[in-house]
Amino acid sequence: MHRRWLALSALTLASLGVSLTGGGCDVAPIVSEKRHFTSTVTLSSEANLIVDMPLSVQIDAAPVRTSVLADFDGTITASTSTRAKAVADGLAFIVTRPDAQTVKISFPAPLVGTNYTGAVRLFAPPTLKLIAGSSRIVLIKSWRGTIVAAAQGGVQIDDGCCAITVTQAPQVVVATSLQAGAPIDITASRQVDLILPERPSIALTVGLNDNSQLSILHPLFPRPIGGVPYAPVLNGGLASVRVLTQTGRIVIRSAAQ
């Protein structure tokens, strides 16, 4: 069956004048230039950090409170070596300040005929309000301030805390060790995976509607009962967590799984 399909495909391509060996048309060569550079953005009294990237971005909490360190490690491709080198040599983080309380760090979108691969990594004070966006994936680690994120490839938050809002992403993964007195409020537009300790002390509230579902994979949590709000309290409920999604599933699982 597979051989027959391949034979038919070859005949169809041949009838359209396309060669399977690549001789039917001219393809522009692809030339690569690697680059790795770091920039430091000095902070004064800013309370908000906006990150807007066309690449995957990882944002780590840093002990330094007076600056943001931005790192790019990747490859620029173009049709000629001259073009690739010119674009690579001109790459730099774009830093703007929309207002006195906000600093924005972004990266230029690829020009026509060029492309970037690689990733961006930022180290920043974790108490800032973080607004992060990417056309690929956003990974945030050990953040203690408010998070607002959107990414076409998904959002992952490790050791998450406080208010987390994901406005656009096919999936959100939030792993938290839970802290008493530091409530977590997760609002997402699609699927949410909440990863909790093996024996959490938690008061959990799950918000569901007609377009969302709940899946319990954590062995200590009770099974949901249809038509009854899901709000279990485990081991004293020292940490408070609220999860709400507009569509998709909410999955509760253990870090040991």
Q: Is 16 contained in some domain?
A: no
Q: Is 5 contained in some domain?
A: no
Domain range for 72: 28-129
- Helices first, then strands: H and E counts in the chain: 2, 20
Q: Is 85 contained in some domain?
A: yes
pLDDT digits (tens, 9 = 90+) for 14-28: 333 332 233 334 445
What is the reported pLDDT for 28?
54
Mean pLDDT across the chain? 87
CA distance 252 to 205: 12
Q: Is 43 contained in some domain?
A: yes
What is the reported pLDDT for 194?
97
Tokens of 59: 């944002």
Is pLDDT above 90 for 44? yes
Number of domains in the chain: 1
Is pLDDT above 80 for 196? yes
CA distance 218 to 92: 44
pLDDT digits (tens, 9 = 90+) for 123-180: 999 999 999 999 999 999 999 999 999 999 999 999 988 899 999 899 999 999 998 8
Q: Is 103 contained in some domain?
A: yes
Q: Is 114 contained in some domain?
A: yes
Nearest CA to 217 out of 252, 242, 243 is that of 252
- pLDDT bin (cut points 50, 70, 90) of residue 229 is confident
Over range 74-97, report the average pLDDT. 94
Nearest CA to 197 out of 125, 240, 257 is that of 257
Q: Is 59 contained in some domain?
A: yes
Asked whether the CA dihedral 10, 11, 16, 17 is positive or negative, the reply is positive
CA distance 187 to 164: 6
CA dihedral 142, 147, 148, 149 (to 10 degrees): 0
Q: Is 49 contained in some domain?
A: yes
Decide which of 248 and 1 is more confident.
Answer: 248
